[in-house]
């Protein structure tokens, strides 16, 4: 599926007090997807990424789980307006949090609604017989998909009710892993920081730690800079508080994009000269210094000018 | 010079029907250079003699002959298929993709069924193949799933897996590679795989190609062609089979002015981003056409002569005809 597609809401399930799961179907065959993939859902011009919860091998439906935030926004709008039989505009699935097939062991860490991509990974690990274990942190009584996680993970699950329990479960899991383990974590930023800090302290190579943010951080406005568009030779100023993607669009330069929050990786462009300041959540740790590419929806320039391969 | 006894070369000569040849030169162009000449797949292209490119894996008129040759090679040299252990899911995805691609092309020969019990059943009446398996089984009819696919299709198969933003050869099932060894390349990085090719190594093209491949969306299908000139119609021009060949043959062919028996060897390459595993399935369909046949198509004769005359010396050497280019060009002008 490329571009937007209309999917039918075949079922809505109240998974916990504030989480609803949506089963989306189509009259056309649904494309398989990598574990950890997300669907981009659009409603009234707003687009948000939601993790798909199945393993993706032969999907009969696309399933997402959405937590009501109470702050408005698309998630709350889905809860308020989407009913069985309705339609949703989606694009994807897109993969930005895939498993590493050659890992010797897979350690999954989920906090709260961050269980959604981890559930997908867990299902795939079971399907392919990959060695894995799960740490699931949740608030008591509000753990989405807990029964399914228990059934799939069995004895390989550590449940951590509350942030303190999660911190110690993560600390213990990180220190006990065999060489060659890859870790995958999804949850609020504080939990992801905790995981990456713990891994760093335990001497994990950053290439083996994979994190999926489900909320993009608020970014500062940044300093103004200039870009040179190679194909047209045009020089465009990028003011503070305005994204490079917006500047390019206003000048008529088409850049494929989806999330506008540095999460999905769709808007990647090539950089020919200058040094980008990466503010996205896509580039893996080993590539944070890469000067040949950037995600213009959030990233800016570390030099006064960038030359873009556009 | 070696005096060791040589296994006689009994490999049959193969000719792709001209109407199905993926003519590798742009219409109207009389020069050729390497470039990332990729385009989206599944679009038929008309040529001066027919058309090509409707399918990703294609069962063409040469299917029985090609499969007979392939089966003989795989029986003799099972190492032509090899895979790293973690490539099993991608190999299974490739198998299911490939069979679903060819099954509708010859409903008289092929039958692919997915039962309600989840069992996949395959039947190929031409080759007498019949098996059933479950997705994820380590062996399909006694073979690795990628080898099982190789036994049913004309294409050579390669699985490239992404690791830390680079591509590596995770599995191969190939019998018709041109002057390289697929089994030797298992586990290699994409960059190492291409380092012997003149002009592209230092041009940044390998790096750009790799980035292009890594940026493909799930399910994307792209294709390109490549070509070279060989002295025989043998499909298996691999290094694995080099001990079976007579190294003086090419020179003798040329010095004996048998230019009409030279072959244009075309590789129709497809790239598929497998959606469920993220692996890249790289397919090469090898096609062969004798110069004597090609020149029966007037547009092709003129274009091929122009391209061969203009090609720089290093590329002519890599393409296989630098040693006898003057005589070859004279032959075109007869």
Q: Is the pLDDT of residue A91 over 70?
A: yes
Lowest mean pLDDT among A2-6, A82-86, A146-150, A295-299: A2-6
3-state SS record for A2-57? CCCEEEEEEEEEECCCCEEEEEEECCCCCCCCCCCCEEEEEECCEEEEEEECCCCC
User: Is A2 in contact with B217 (Cβ distance < 8 A)?
Assistant: yes
In tens, the pLDDT along B163-217 reads: 888 899 999 999 998 767 776 788 788 887 777 666 666 666 777 788 888 888 8
The answer, for A6 touching chain B at a CB cutoff of 8 Å, is no
Query: Does any CB of chain B come closer than 8 Å to the CB of residue A28?
Result: no
Chain A positions touching B93 (Cβ under 8 A) are 32
Task: Please judge whether A102 and B90 are an interchain contact, meaning their C-beta atoms are less than 8 angstroms apart.
Answer: no
**Which residues 9-48 of B have a C-beta within 8 angstroms of A?**
none
C-alpha gyration radius of chain B: 20
- CB-based contact A31 B218, cutoff 8 Å: yes
CB atoms within 10 A of CB B196: 11
Q: Are B150 and B175 in contact (CB under 8 A)?
A: yes
Is the ipTM higher than 0.90? The answer is: no
H/E run at residue A65 = strand A62-67
* Token pair in block for residue B160: 């490239």
Per-residue pLDDT tens over the stretch A9-39: 999 999 999 999 999 999 999 999 999 999 9
Tokens of A13: 């399930």
Q: Do B276 and A34 touch (CB under 8 A)?
A: yes
Provide the annotated active-site residues of B.
224
* pLDDT of residue A40 exceeding 80: yes
Model confidence at B334, pLDDT cuts 50, 70, 90, reads confident
Model confidence at B2, pLDDT cuts 50, 70, 90, reads very low
Q: Kindly list the residues from chain B whose CB atom is less than 8 angstroms away from the CB atom of residue A93.
A: 218, 275
| pLDDT tens by residue, B35-63 | 657 889 999 999 999 999 999 999 999 99
Per-residue pLDDT of A110-149, as tens digits, reads 999 999 999 999 999 999 999 999 999 999 888 999 999 9
In this predicted structure, what is the pLDDT of residue B237? 75
CB contact under 8 A, B165 and A287: yes
pLDDT at residue A77 tops 50: yes
Confidence of residue A220 (pLDDT cuts 50, 70, 90): confident
Task: Name the average pLDDT for chain A.
Answer: 91
Res A182: pLDDT: 97
- B217/A contact by beta carbon, under 8 A: yes
| Per-residue confidence band for B254, with pLDDT thresholds at 50, 70 and 90 | low
pLDDT at B4: 39
Preferred mutation among A32, A33, A93 to probe B, highest tally of B CBs within 10 A: A32
Contact between A278 and A294 under an 8 Å Cβ cutoff? The reply is: yes
Q: Is B117 on the interface with A (CB under 8 A)?
A: no
- The predicted structure's pLDDT at residue A48: 82
- The reply to whether omega before A93 is within 30° of 0 (cis) is yes
Tell me if B275 and A33 make a contact (CB, 8 A cut-off): yes
Structure tokens at A196: 């990456």
Mind listing the pLDDT tens digit for each residue in B68-95?
999 999 999 998 899 999 999 999 999 9
> Which residue on chain B is closest to A105 by alpha carbon?
B86
Q: Which of residues 172-231 of A touch B (CB under 8 A)?
A: 207
**In the predicted structure, residue A46 carries a pLDDT above the cut 80:** no
**CB A59 within 8 Å of CB A10:** no
Quick one: what percent of chain A has pLDDT higher than 90? 73
Sheet strands side by side (includes A209-213): A157-161, A132-138, A105-111, A181-187, A209-213
Q: Which of residues 257-276 of B touch A (CB under 8 A)?
A: 275-276
pLDDT given at position B163: 87
* Arithmetic mean of pLDDT, A155-164: 96
What band does B246 get if pLDDT is binned at 50, 70 and 90? low
Cβ–Cβ below 8 Å for A101 and B161: yes
Chain A residue numbers touching B100 (CB-CB < 8 A):
none
């Amino acid at each position: 599926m490329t571009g937007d597609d209309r999917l039918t809401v075949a079922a809505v399930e109240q998974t916990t007090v504030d989480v609803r799961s949506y089963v989306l179907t189509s009259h056309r065959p649904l494309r398989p997807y990598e574990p950890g993939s997300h669907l981009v859902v659009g409603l009234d011009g707003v687009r948000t990424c939601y993790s798909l919860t199945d393993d993706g091998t032969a999907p009969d439906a696309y399933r997402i789980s959405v937590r009501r935030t109470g702050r408005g926004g698309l998630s709350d709008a889905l809860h308020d307006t989407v009913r069985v039989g309705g339609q949703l505009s989606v694009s994807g699935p897109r993969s930005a949090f895939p498993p590493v097939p050659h890992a010797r062991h897979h350690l999954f860490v989920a906090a709260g609604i961050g269980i959604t991509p981890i559930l997908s990974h867990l299902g795939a690990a079971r399907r392919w017989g990959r060695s894995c274990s799960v740490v699931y942190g949740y608030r008591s009584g509000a753990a989405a998909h807990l029964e399914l996680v228990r059934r799939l993970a069995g004895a390989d699950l550590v449940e951590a009710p509350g942030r303190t329990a999660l911190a110690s479960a993560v600390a213990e899991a990180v220190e006990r892993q065999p060489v060659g383990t890859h870790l995958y974590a999804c949850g609020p930023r504080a939990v992801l920081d905790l995981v990456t800090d713990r891994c760093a302290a335990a001497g994990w190579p950053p290439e083996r730690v994979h994190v999926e943010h489900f909320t993009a951080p608020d970014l500062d406005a940044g300093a103004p800079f200039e870009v040179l568009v190679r194909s047209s030779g045009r020089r465009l100023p990028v003011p503070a508080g305005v994204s490079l993607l917006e500047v390019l669009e206003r000048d008529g330069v088409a850049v494929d994009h989806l999330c506008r929050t540095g999460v999905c990786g769709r808007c990647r462009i090539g950089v020919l000269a200058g040094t980008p300041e990466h503010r996205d959540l896509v580039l893996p740790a080993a590539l944070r210094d890469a000067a040949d590419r950037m995600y213009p929806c959030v990233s800016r320039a570390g030099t006064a000018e960038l030359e873009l391969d556009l | 010079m070696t005096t060791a006894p040589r296994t006689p070369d009994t490999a049959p000569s193969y000719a792709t029907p001209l109407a199905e040849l993926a003519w590798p030169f742009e219409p109207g162009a009389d020069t050729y250079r390497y470039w990332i000449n990729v385009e989206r797949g599944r679009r038929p292209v008309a040529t001066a003699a027919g058309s090509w490119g409707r399918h990703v894996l294609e069962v063409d008129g040469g299917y029985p002959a090609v499969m007979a040759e392939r089966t003989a090679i795989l029986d003799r040299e099972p190492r032509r298929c090899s895979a790293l252990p973690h490539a099993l899911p991608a190999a299974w995805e490739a198998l299911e993709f490939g069979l679903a691609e060819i099954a509708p092309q010859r409903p008289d020969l092929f039958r692919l069924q997915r039962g309600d019990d989840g069992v996949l059943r395959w039947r190929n009446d031409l080759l007498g193949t019949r098996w059933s398996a479950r997705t994820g089984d380590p062996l399909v009819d006694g073979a690795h799933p990628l080898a099982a696919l190789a036994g049913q299709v004309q294409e050579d198969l390669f699985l490239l897996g992404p690791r830390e933003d680079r591509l590596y050869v995770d599995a191969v099932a190939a019998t018709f590679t041109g002057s390289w060894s697929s089994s030797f390349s298992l586990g290699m990085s994409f960059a190492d795989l291409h380092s012997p090719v003149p002009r592209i190594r230092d041009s940044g093209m390998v790096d750009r190609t790799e980035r292009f491949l890594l940026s493909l969306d799930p399910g994307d299908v792209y294709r390109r062609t490549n070509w070279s000139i060989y002295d025989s119609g043998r499909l298996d021009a691999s290094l694995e089979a080099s001990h079976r060949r007579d190294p003086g043959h090419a020179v003798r062919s040329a010095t004996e002015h048998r230019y009409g028996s030279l072959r244009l060897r075309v590789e129709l390459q497809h790239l598929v981003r497998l959606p469920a595993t993220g692996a890249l399935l790289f397919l090469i369909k090898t096609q062969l056409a004798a110069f004597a046949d090609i020149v029966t198509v007037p547009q092709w004769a003129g274009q091929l002569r122009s391209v061969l005359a203009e090609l720089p010396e290093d590329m002519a050497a890599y393409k296989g005809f630098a040693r006898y280019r003057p005589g070859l060009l004279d032959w075109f002008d007869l």
